[in-house]
Structure 1
């Protein structure tokens, strides 16, 4: 009869779903990553280094496991109770549900609330797409503001991890977000909003790299604010005494950091889209991002007035 045959190793099939047409429009990368396969969730399966994290939708609950140490992994946590640990570099994304009346209100009444919400969705999706990390670069956590709900956010951005913003004003909310990700194990952290669709993962990686020799990194916007802030550890003092949503935010933050003795690196300046004047100034760059969306005509009409 001979010796018994050795058991065959289990085979894991990776299914690559075709991208929606909107995701590939105009050659842009898919919303959740740069062309990476999205792996199916298999309860109890530990993925090795060659596969773990290949799809951003896998989330922080799927991690590389050293050979010989496979173990059961907990599913990723979502919503306000997202308690999963993170490590390495973490990108905090401040985001709102694209609901009429709560986003892009500075564009009213030039745009009606529905058109403003659709514009916000388009700009946010482009920035989310452009900052999608590749394997090992950084982890993204999405901090959303009420009245957005975790269910509504996950319906819009499936597979991502969401945390509810906490704090009385923008500075308090940003400070709390940094505290939270460092509590979860982040080595470095950066925060961005969703008003700068030309921000790229390369610029985010540059910010994290700059923290090798600096304590903080700022990415200035043309209106006196900033599109990115990166920190080497929690620094709640940086957010105190700032008049938020004013043209002095960047200068005040620089002064605050200098008073604290922090080494600050400045990135290149980028424009953001907050007002109808911003749209008019950058319409040639914004219009291609709205291709195939009804809002493109509404914005074009508003700019003609």
Structure 2
């Protein structure tokens, strides 16, 4: 069965969602990040065994790959195994994870809190049905990055990510190119919007109106901000 991993960092003011400041304060930006992580963990917790969801029986292990102290781990991570992130840049940290987790793996970021198990269902089914095949699943983000990466079993999978430039508008394209050059058959998941700017925040709040992120956006006044005020 597949290991489902959420990669995240502690939602400390000044360390997360800094592109939301201004117009938000650093504390407000950290609140949005915390809400995004909580929404993501809760949504993907529904993909666990016995959850009665589309991911039921397809996920054998849930991991929070976390950059932060034990005190910063959110309550919503109950049921997840918390693994500290390796040192280095993001590509190196993901590479370490891919080298150390056996079997099929599906990695999801914390910046797309509108994600649901239905978004992951094709990858979970594909990885379960052909775990040893050279199939990779990539969830493209609207900003050019990617929000999910799924890989079947294989040795030294970290080399599929190490060296790919991260946090750029061509990261998704570069990652796909790396996978294809390595002989992977890349399958695409739905494109989602990362919460990076206030415009993104409004888009995600509309997509998931009942979530913590939508509630935080409303309470912080983001939904009333004029577009030019968020630029």
TM range (shorter): 0.7 to 0.9
Match of 1:123 in 2: 36
Aligned to 1:239: 161
Deviation at 1:127, TM superposition (A): 1.6
Aligned length: 212
| C-alpha deviation, 1:228, in angstroms | 0.6
Choose between structure 1 and 2: higher strand proportion: 2
Whether 2:25 is the aligned partner of 1:112: answer yes
User: What's the CA shift string for 1:151-183, capped at 9, x where partnerless?
Assistant: 33165634432111013111110111122222x
Q: Say if 2:205 and 2:217, in contact at 8 Å, map to a contact too.
A: no
Once the two structures are TM-superposed, the CA of residue 292 in structure 1 deviates from its matched residue by 9.3
- Structure-to-structure mapping, 1:166-205, within 5 angstroms: 166-182=86-102, 187-205=103-121
Structure with greater helix percent: 2
SS at match of 1:131: helix
SS at match of 2:121: helix
Give the deviation of 1:282 after TM superposition: 4.0
Separation in structure 2 between the aligned mates of residue 301 and residue 262 of structure 1, nearest angstrom: 41
The answer as to whether partners of 1:167 and 1:176 remain within 8 angstroms in 2 is no
Structure-to-structure mapping, 1:285-300, within 5 angstroms: 285=207, 287-290=209-212, 296-300=218-222
Aligned to 1:218: 138
Residue pair 1:104, 1:274 contacting (<8 A) in 2 also: yes
1:69-88 CA distance string (max 9 Å, x none): xxxxxxxxxxxxxxxxxxx2
Q: Which has the larger radius of gyration?
A: 1
Would the aligned equivalents of 2:97 and 2:158 in 1 still touch at CA under 8 Å?
no
Q: Is the 8 A contact 1:188 1:208 kept in 2?
A: no
Show the counterpart of 1:140.
62
Per the alignment, residue 52 of structure 2 pairs with none
Query: Could you say what secondary structure the match of 1:205 adopts?
Result: helix
Unpaired runs of 5+ residues, structure 1, are 1-87
Residue matched to 1:228: 148
The Cα shift of 1:289 comes to 2.2
**Aligned equivalent of 2:15:** 102
Shift of 1:98: 2.0
For residues 193 and 142 of structure 2, the distance between their equivalents in structure 1, rounded to whole angstroms, comes to: 5
Matched residues in 1 for 2:214 and 2:206: separation? 16
SS of the residue 2:15 aligns to = coil
Q: 2:106·2:150 contact (CA, 8 Å) conserved in 1?
A: yes
Which of 251, 262, 282 does residue 173 from structure 2 map onto? 251
Query: Could you say what the CA RMSD is over the residues aligned between the two structures, in angstroms?
Result: 2.3
CA contact (8 A) 2:66 2:84 kept: yes
Assess, with a 3 A threshold, how the Cα gap between structure 1 residues 287 and 115 changes in structure 2: closer, same or farther.
farther
Tell me the CA shift for residue 294 of structure 1. 6.0
The whole-number CA distance in structure 1 between the counterparts of 2:201 and 2:216 is 16
Task: Indicate how the Cα distance of structure 1 residues 302 and 112 shifts in structure 2: closer, same or farther if over 3 A, else same.
Answer: farther
Q: Which has the higher contact order (CA 8 A, sep 6+)?
A: 2
**Normalised TM-score (structure 1):** 0.63
Contact 1:171-1:244 at 8 Å conserved across structures: yes
1:301 CA drift (Å):
6.8
Partner of 1:49: none
